[in-house]
Amino acid sequence: MSILLIEDRGHVRLMTLNRPESINSINMALYARLIEALEEADADENVRAIVLTGAGRGFCSGADTREFENLTPENEGLVAERAELTYRLHYTIPRLKKTVVAAVHGYAVGGGAGLAQACDIVVAGEDTRIGYPEIRHGLVAAVVMANLVKQIGQKAAYSLVAEGRVVDAQEAWRLGMVTHVVPEGEHLAKALEIAEKLAIRVPSALQATKQLFKRVCDVPLAEGQDLGRQANEAMRAYRAEAMKAYAGSVINAKTEVTA
């Protein structure tokens, strides 16, 4: 059984974490496969948007704790490898050219919450429970913490990680952790709908929008404005591509009518 299911729906690539017996907990094999699949999708010109979801009754329950018994100081190499995989996943997603939409339901906790937060857009079903309970188990929400602080601010983020709180979809929306809340069972349909709308945009313009957005989030206002000016100057190329695509669609439509 594949631990990651991959399906193309037009220009949208759907990736499904497929370890439902453990609510899609992430072991080292799944970390590695997910990183590889995301990079493959980003390099595929046919793919214009990515949807990430989980099979079964939840999105992702975080790290596979069954691997923890081997992650001891004596196994320094294995500990370092696991930490590197976690880091690489959270480093990779924001730097993809393609937009990643998370379709979340059930539990998205610990590393699962972090995975959802790493995505560009998060659609959550009403049954979603999301948060960082690591502290309850004597652990630290480590790699995921930096992104959480950037997403929702210091006070709210510290409350979540220090108290180990898991919140419902509506509170997650109020905190800014999710983009859309939909009725239970409709999370995937809504995420695909959003991704399909993104997929009809001019690819270069959408990719430049994401790249500029990520960059201006990390710099002072003046530097962000300068980056915006540079992007504005480059916009003529995106408009030319849009006009070319529009002209091509008109020609194709006329050909179909004539035929």
Q: Which two tokens stand for residue 156?
A: 């709210």
% of residues, the chain, pLDDT over 90: 65
pLDDT of residue 1: 81
The band of 37, judged by pLDDT with boundaries at 50, 70 and 90, is: very high
Q: Which 3 state secondary structure label does DSSP give 219?
A: coil
The continuous run of DSSP H or E covering 83 comes out as helix 76-95
* Residue range 2-15: mean pLDDT, rounded: 98
| Residue 208, pLDDT score | 87
Predicted local confidence at residue 49, as pLDDT: 98
Check if the beta carbon of residue 50 is closer than 8 Å to that of residue 9.
no
Query: How many residues are there in the chain?
Result: 259
Sign for the pseudo-dihedral over CA of 39, 8, 5, 205: positive
Distance, CA of 63 to CA of 221 (rounded, Å): 37
Choice among 96-110, 141-155, 170-184, 213-227 with the minimum mean pLDDT: 213-227
Task: Spot the catalytic one: 40, 134, 186, 256.
Answer: 134
Average confidence score pLDDT of the chain:
88
Q: How confident is the model at residue 63 (pLDDT cuts 50, 70, 90)?
A: confident
Q: Quick check: 24 pLDDT over 50?
A: yes
Per-residue confidence (pLDDT) for residue 258, from 0 to 100: 42
Direct distance between the N- and C-terminal alpha carbons of the chain, in angstroms, rounded to an integer: 46
228, containing H or E segment: helix 221-258
171 is catalytic: no
Confidence label for 254 from pLDDT (cuts 50, 70 and 90): very low
pLDDT at 35 over 70: yes
